[in-house]
Amino acid sequence: MVPVARTATAMTTTELVALLHLASPALPIGAFSYSQGLEAALDANLIHDADTARDWIASGLTDVLAHGELPFLAHQLARWHAHDAPALVAENAWFIASRESAELRRETEQMGWSLGQLCASLEWGDAARRATLAAMTPIALPTAFAYAAAAHDASADAVLAAYAFGWVENQTSAALKAVPLGQLAGQRIIVALRGAIDAAVRRALATPPDAINTFAPQLGILSARHETQYSRLFRS
């Protein structure tokens, strides 16, 4: 089993700024164009106001992300630190295969490719790891995010917190546009989920590779339906 990368109780300013950059909505990877099933949930009337939007996002964080994408990210981070190229490639392929719809697969591949291109253009990481990154086609977003974080020597708990916060923020932004909600309602959702982000990170760090679980049938069904949804703002 690959050990999870280090955790830290203190963070350097350099590490903090790097993670703020990676979690920023200004990062040019196209996150704003995806809702990850939220728009389909709205069409199915599972979301219709601020409370149901908050509940949907909270469920995605605690029941889906915390069991699958976050622990996967943690172990890919450790593999990048160890530069275990065969494991990185194999697990990246597994994650892409675990996506339950064409939209979700294209989403992680497009965002992963965009982040990988950014890492290469900015020359993050050493040449050997950059070569491994460039050879991975397609590349999932968590694998590319783990590479960027490892290149900045960020600790696992901080990396997962940044990734989870970015996910919550993007989901909230999608809800603001699609429900629609006001800005204050969106901020209330983000504040309400701070504790859930912490719990999701702690759970993910304690999850071994063979316990990672991406089972989310409702999300898969809604995402598949979204592919033929009549009116759409988002690509997923």
CATH of residue 63: 1.10.4190.10
Answer yes or no: is 7 within a domain.
Answer: no
Specify the pLDDT at position 8: 52
Answer yes or no: is 232 within a domain.
Answer: no
Q: How many domains does the chain have?
A: 1
Answer yes or no: is 13 within a domain.
Answer: no
Answer yes or no: is 234 within a domain.
Answer: no
Strand, helix or coil at 8? coil
Strand, helix or coil at 32? helix
CA–CA distance, 185 with 30 (Å, rounded to integer): 24
Share of the chain above pLDDT 90, in %: 92
- Assigned token pair, 109: 């591949």
Q: What is the pLDDT of residues 174-189, one digit of tens each?
A: 999 999 999 999 999 9
CA distances from residue 59 to 7, 70, 153 in whole angstroms, order as listed: 26, 14, 30
Answer yes or no: is 233 within a domain.
Answer: no
Q: What is the pLDDT of residues 1-11, one digit of tens each?
A: 455 554 555 78
pTM of the model: 0.95
Answer yes or no: is 16 within a domain.
Answer: no
Answer yes or no: is 88 within a domain.
Answer: yes
CA–CA distance, 149 with 187 (Å, rounded to integer): 26
- Show Cβ contacts of residue 180 under 8 Å, excluding neighbours closer than 6 positions: none
Give the domain range for residue 39. 30-226
Average pLDDT over residues 148-160: 97
Confidence of residue 64 (pLDDT cuts 50, 70, 90): very high
Answer yes or no: is 20 within a domain.
Answer: no
